[in-house]
Amino acid sequence: MTTIQLLAILISLAALFSYINHRLLRMPTTIGLMVLSMLTSLLLVVAGGYFPAVRECGRDALAAINFDAILLHGMLAYLLFAGALHVNLGDLAGQKWVIGITATVGVVASTFLVGGMTYGITQVTGLDLPFLHCLLFGSLISPTDPIAVMGILKKVGAPKTLETKICGESLFNDGVGVVVFLVLAGIAAEKAGGGHVEVSAGGIALLFAYEALGGALFGLACGFVVYRMIKSVNNYQVEVLLSLSLVSGGYVLAEALHLSAPIAIVVAGLLIGNHGRSFAMDEHTRHHLDTFWELVDEILNALLFVMIGLEILELTFAWPMVAAGFMAIPVTLVARFIAVGVPIAALRRVRTFTPHAAKIMTWGGLRGGISVALALTLVDHDAGEHAPILTMTYIVVVFSIVVQGMTISPLLRRWCGDGGAGNTECRMQNGRVGSPPQRKVP
């Protein structure tokens, strides 16, 4: 099957499922698409019990898609830029301490909390995974997915500061999580090969500084160059094309330099979405830029969640793995609550927070395609050894998107309604993170 044929199938499924969801299910688009894709996958699994060729055909087609490569080295760049483009930098700066701590220290703490508790789960269920593999699971499941988070939160009307915290954290913590994951995966690979691995805090800190901080500086430089180019022309076709080249070329170049490409694109998107929008574009260009990237965001989100639903064909339905996956759900939630609750409790001494902020950030911190993609990179190297990690990851991600995504809105009304400690901000309903100020080009 050719790439064009696979793309045609995915687009057709996304369109069909979107239609069915809009006419019948009325779920949020991302959730509806994933649920319908999962049901399709389950039908293929059941049919495969009677006609094995049916399931094998589906699995062969899914293997040809190469989900982890498509997401991590392709779609992610465009989705992150589309999300960062509409984040108000002033709002983000106002929450910098919460976002900075939860996106760095919080991710590392959650990795070890989840890893430790998962090790206990695997002992109980008989999976008996090595502790290092449990840490790998903790590192890939701890970061919240900006694609899933922003796709759901912009629909539910979260309080402005809370939405900024959750979305801002999700934009940056995936880069940190990937660095932690790569370090742990490298150690695991060395040990599996019989090598002697020396791990030092200084070495890990240096790697983090190079990838994360280097990625941020690289994104700032690329964004500034494109900003100057946009400012020098007054043609929306050229300006939209420049933004597209920034994402495509910037992401690939950052990866080639071994920098954090996600962080680079987020920083570039923030620069273009704030400084570029205010000082380099007229109203006509802003309208076309927004329309283009909103369309890219919607199309890629649809394709992504269809693929997530279809990935069920890759799972191993062994009872110990499924049991461990369901037990991992409360584990990840507890670790998330501790990772965000402790910094919030400490910062409450110097600033005020929306009531129930830790609870909302815990429940609103959704996991998504990035976690599945990272788990698939492990399975690509050793399917038998890492199959439990993929199954556990998938179960947690499905629960996160479907259950947490469907219930975050009523929980917000309960925790932040008129009875929410009389907090005025909690009663504010916003469709997206505060839009940047609109100024005419001087």
Overall average pLDDT of the 352-361 stretch: 84
Of 123-137, 146-160, 215-229, 368-382, least confident by mean pLDDT is 146-160
Q: What is the pLDDT of residue 156?
A: 62
**Under CATH, which architecture does the 65-427 domain have?**
Up-down Bundle (1.20)
Please tell me the distance from the alpha carbon of residue 112 to that of residue 137, in angstroms, as a whole number: 10
Q: What is the pLDDT of residue 308?
A: 87
Q: What is the pLDDT of residue 59?
A: 74
| Residue of 86, 95, 172 lying closest to 432 (CA atoms) | 86
Answer yes or no: is pLDDT of 333 > 70.
yes
Please tell me the distance from the alpha carbon of residue 436 to that of residue 439, in angstroms, as a whole number: 9
Please tell me the distance from the alpha carbon of residue 307 to that of residue 255, in angstroms, as a whole number: 24
Please tell me the distance from the alpha carbon of residue 256 to that of residue 240, in angstroms, as a whole number: 24
Q: What is the pLDDT of residue 87?
A: 85
Q: What is the pLDDT of residue 90?
A: 85
Q: What is the pLDDT of residue 381?
A: 59
Q: What is the pLDDT of residue 440?
A: 38
Q: What is the pLDDT of residue 441?
A: 40
| Residue of 401, 408, 406 lying closest to 329 (CA atoms) | 401
Q: What percent of the chain has pLDDT over 70?
A: 88
Please tell me the distance from the alpha carbon of residue 168 to that of residue 150, in angstroms, as a whole number: 10
The pLDDT tens digits of the residues spanning 372-384 come to 889 888 876 565 6
Q: What is the pLDDT of residue 49?
A: 74
The pLDDT tens digits of the residues spanning 177-223 come to 888 888 888 888 777 665 555 556 677 778 778 888 899 999 999 99
Residue carrying structure tokens 């022309």: 233
Residue carrying structure tokens 């993170």: 433
DSSP state of 435: P
The pLDDT tens digits of the residues spanning 90-109 come to 888 888 888 989 988 999 99
Domain locations in the chain as residue ranges = 65-427
Residue carrying structure tokens 């500034």: 224
Answer yes or no: is pLDDT of 430 > 60.
no
Residue carrying structure tokens 């020396």: 198
SS (H, E, C) 201-264: HHHHHHHHHHHHHHHHHHHHHHHHHHHHHHHCCCCHHHHHHHHHHHHHHHHHHHHHCCCCHHHH
136 contacts 379 by C-beta, under 8 angstroms: no
The pLDDT tens digits of the residues spanning 270-322 come to 999 998 988 889 999 999 999 999 999 889 988 888 888 888 887 877 899 99
CB atoms within 10 A of CB 265: 32
Q: What is the pLDDT of residue 95?
A: 85
Answer yes or no: is pLDDT of 119 > 80.
yes
